[in-house]
Amino acid sequence: MQTIRERLQALGLWGVLSHWNEVHNAPWLAQILQYEEAERARRSLERRLSSARIGPFKLATDFDWVWPRKIDREAVEELFGGGYVAEGTNAVFYGPNGVGKTMFLKNLAHQALLRGNTVRFTTASEMLADLAAQDSSASLNRRVARYVQPSLLCIDEVGYLSYDSRYADLLFEVVTRRYQAPKSIVLSTNKRFADWPQVFPNASCVVTLVDRLLHRCECIEIDADSYRLKEAKEREAARAKARATRRAKNNSRATPAQVSIPTKDSTP
């Protein structure tokens, strides 16, 4: 009974609680609780999925672990356990283009959502352009809060573009606030941290930014050729094979044309 009362309180069903003595033995009470909890969980997940903006993604279960020359599979699978979000620690995926960094970020974001966390997925350029577009300190603070409040922030594609010191300061602000919370960041980059001054040239905060990002962090390097290029070549090979098969079938069905040559009757 105490558990049922606690569940009613958690759902805010104060009307039912006010008539507790009348309804606590009702056979329908437990079923109503189950319906309400399930519906609220479903609607909560829908809202968080919409707010996260993950977009479509390929499932990590389809990842070819044999393809990379280097990847710490155990470390990746440990992240999917979700403990890093509760601890407020970070994760960084480093590697060249097309090796699965974005795929892992989106899968981790989705798993965090399924565990009840709030999540926001964004590219570095999208987030920094959004923050830089704010025209007042008040609006900027509100916008920064959008990237600080979620339990997990996923920042994709750091290092693909170069940014001036203004953008570096904005990223520093987001990283610092989440570091102080502490709240987790999962980030992908194609640049080693020693090369980040090239991404943010003339920015004095880069060293401190990297230091706070890496203080509580799991770094995972993926050394591989482009997985997308591999799949593209495989699709092209499959299409070429299918075309060759069709041509062979068409050739085997073709028969020489039967030409009849009429003979002229020479009889008058």
pLDDT tens string 62-82: 899 999 999 999 999 999 999
Average of per-residue pLDDT across 45-73 = 90
Asked if residue 106 and residue 43 are part of one domain, the reply reads no
Put residue 12 in one of left, alpha, beta given phi > 0 → left and psi -120 to 50 → alpha.
left
Tell me which of 216 and 22 has the higher pLDDT.
Answer: 216
On the question of pLDDT at 210 being above 90, the answer is yes
At 265, list the tokens: 């009757």
Instruction: Give residue 264's pLDDT.
Output: 55
Whole-prediction pTM value? 0.78
In a domain, 216, yes or no: yes
Residue count of the chain = 268
Instruction: Give residue 19's pLDDT.
Output: 81
At 14, list the tokens: 């104060």
Average of per-residue pLDDT across 195-212 = 91
On the question of pLDDT at 174 being above 90, the answer is yes
Residue 55: half-sphere exposure toward Cβ, Cα within 13 Å: 8
Asked if residue 165 and residue 78 are part of one domain, the reply reads yes
Number of domain units in the chain:
2
On the question of pLDDT at 145 being above 60, the answer is yes
Q: What is the CA radius of gyration of the chain?
A: 29
Asked if residue 39 and residue 80 are part of one domain, the reply reads no
In a domain, 258, yes or no: no
Asked if residue 144 and residue 11 are part of one domain, the reply reads no
Asked if residue 19 and residue 135 are part of one domain, the reply reads no
Buried b (16+ CB within 10 A) or exposed e, 72-100: eeeebeebeebebbeebbbbbbbbeebbb
Put residue 120 in one of left, alpha, beta given phi > 0 → left and psi -120 to 50 → alpha.
beta
Instruction: Give residue 176's pLDDT.
Output: 96
Instruction: Give residue 254's pLDDT.
Output: 67
What DSSP character marks residue 255?
Answer: -
What is d(CA 188, CA 125) in angstroms, rounded to the nearest whole number?
Answer: 13
In a domain, 89, yes or no: yes
pLDDT classification of 11: cutoffs 50, 70, 90: confident
Asked if residue 205 and residue 96 are part of one domain, the reply reads yes
Residue 234: its H or E element: helix 227-253
Percentage of the chain with pLDDT > 70?
A: 94
In a domain, 74, yes or no: yes
Average of per-residue pLDDT across 214-224 = 95
Q: Give the residue numbers spanning the domain of 185.
A: 60-221
Average of per-residue pLDDT across 10-15 = 84
Asked if residue 90 and residue 10 are part of one domain, the reply reads no
Asked if residue 124 and residue 45 are part of one domain, the reply reads no
pLDDT classification of 106: cutoffs 50, 70, 90: very high
- Would you give the distance in Å from CA 179 to the centre of its chain? 21
At 73, list the tokens: 């599979």
Asked if residue 203 and residue 83 are part of one domain, the reply reads yes
What is d(CA 133, CA 212) in angstroms, rounded to the nearest whole number?
Answer: 25
- CATH number for the domain spanning 171: value is 3.40.50.300
In a domain, 253, yes or no: no
On the question of pLDDT at 173 being above 70, the answer is yes
What is d(CA 120, CA 53) in angstroms, rounded to the nearest whole number?
Answer: 7
Instruction: Give residue 268's pLDDT.
Output: 45
On the question of pLDDT at 175 being above 60, the answer is yes
Average of per-residue pLDDT across 257-261 = 52
In a domain, 261, yes or no: no
Asked if residue 210 and residue 139 are part of one domain, the reply reads yes
Asked if residue 72 and residue 24 are part of one domain, the reply reads no
Whether 94 and 190 have beta carbons less than 8 Å apart is answered as yes
pLDDT classification of 166: cutoffs 50, 70, 90: very high
What is d(CA 53, CA 184) in angstroms, rounded to the nearest whole number?
Answer: 17
The beta strand positions in the chain, using DSSP E, are 90-94, 119-123, 152-158, 184-189, 217-221
Mean pLDDT lowest for which of 35-49, 93-107, 189-203? 35-49
Label residue 213 exposed, middle or buried (CB < 10 Å: 0-12, 13-18, 19+): buried
Asked if residue 186 and residue 130 are part of one domain, the reply reads yes
In a domain, 234, yes or no: no
In a domain, 228, yes or no: no
Average of per-residue pLDDT across 10-20 = 83
pLDDT classification of 150: cutoffs 50, 70, 90: very high
